[in-house]
Amino acid sequence: MLCDIFDIDQHFQQNSLFQKPRESYTSKEWFEEEIQFEYPVTLVEHLKPAIESLLQQLSDYLRKRQQECQHIEWTILDIYRHKEFFTVGSDTPQSHWQLLYDLTLIQFENTELPFEVDVIKLCCRYSLSLQNRIQVLDFEQARRRRTSVSDFAVTIAKLKARLGDDAVYKLSYCDDRVPELTNTTLTLAEKSNQRLPDIFKKSLRPSWLLTPPEKLEERNQRLFWRGYIFPIVGPERIIGNWWDQPVARDYYLAKRHDNTHLWIYFNLYDKSWYVHGVFS
């Protein structure tokens, strides 16, 4: 019956009907626009209208394609075709132009223009589909302040643009016996461990560790660090990290003459005393 309907040979000799169709070639598409000035521009202030116009064009481009982006590249040129590149990035994908505008101005204001600008160009080579993101269905969103949810992301993006990526990070606990290895720094995109290691629950640990530990002086057979120090509780021996830099220390809770409580240790390798932490 099927053979009669679809006019197929009963012996299935028409192999072309069962072959995978050829994929059509689709060229890579990206956004690239430029503005040429009527006169050479020497101040960043005079670049702002062109920057805003190009970013609005990018926003329209992304919105029509239901896309967003995280990185854009600016190029400025002079009449001799000398080039200078500026890269702007955001941790969270953007489809609106306002945050990218603020981040761009931070980049431009952090440096002087290297020459008189004749052309400014905006390029966005990589974009993401909006359909890959989970969004909350909220019919009241139009009545709310749209930036309220993303205030933190906006603040972080501006801080990283001004200070650099390495200057903005978060802390994470690590399960390790060596005190300075019980926490580490992570990028904001990484997931941190907020569970307090068991060693913090079983032993004395200060709220502030010195990095690196500071060596104690010995005056008249007494320990001195911004004042005389008296060990009152201890020792707690900590041994570990034998595969890298071996650690062998005897830790003590100590009190200074001004009643400040310190965490000090005696290094069993170099036979010296150090202050490692301050109790709040």
The structure tokens listed for 36 are 């040429």
pLDDT in tens, the chain (280 residues): 666 666 655 555 555 556 667 777 666 788 999 999 999 999 888 999 999 999 999 999 999 989 999 899 999 999 998 999 989 888 788 888 988 998 888 888 877 888 999 999 999 999 888 765 555 555 555 455 444 445 666 777 777 767 776 777 778 787 778 888 777 787 776 777 777 777 777 777 887 888 889 999 988 888 999 889 989 887 889 888 888 888 999 999 999 988 899 999 999 998 999 999 898 7
**Strand (E) or helix (H) holding 86:** strand 83-94
In sequence order, the 6+-apart residues with CB closer than 8 A to the CB of 135 are none
> If we measure between CA atoms, which residue out of 90, 161, 150 comes closest to residue 126?
90
Enter the CATH code of domain 31-132+147-163.
3.30.1490.100
pLDDT for the residue numbered 47 = 92
The candidate with the shortest Cα–Cα distance to 107, out of 139, 127, 85, is: 85
For the record, the structure tokens of 250 come out as 């005897």
Partner residues linked to 236 by β-bridges: 251
The neighbour count for residue 164, using CB atoms within 10 Å, is 9
**98-120 confidence digits (pLDDT tens):** 889 988 888 888 778 889 999 99
How far, in Å, CA of 233 to CA of 71, rounded? 55
DSSP 11: T
188 closest CA partner among 99, 91, 68:
91
Phi-psi label, residue 271: left if phi above 0, alpha if psi -120 to 50, beta otherwise: left
pLDDT at 7: 62
For position 149, what pLDDT does the model report?
44
Ordered by start, the domain boundaries in the chain are 31-132+147-163, 206-278
- Residue written as tokens 């930036």? 147
pLDDT at 208: 83
Q: Which two tokens stand for residue 73?
A: 């590249």
For 234, the token pair is 């201890």
SS3 39: strand
Question: How far is 19 from 198, CA to CA, in rounded Å?
Answer: 61
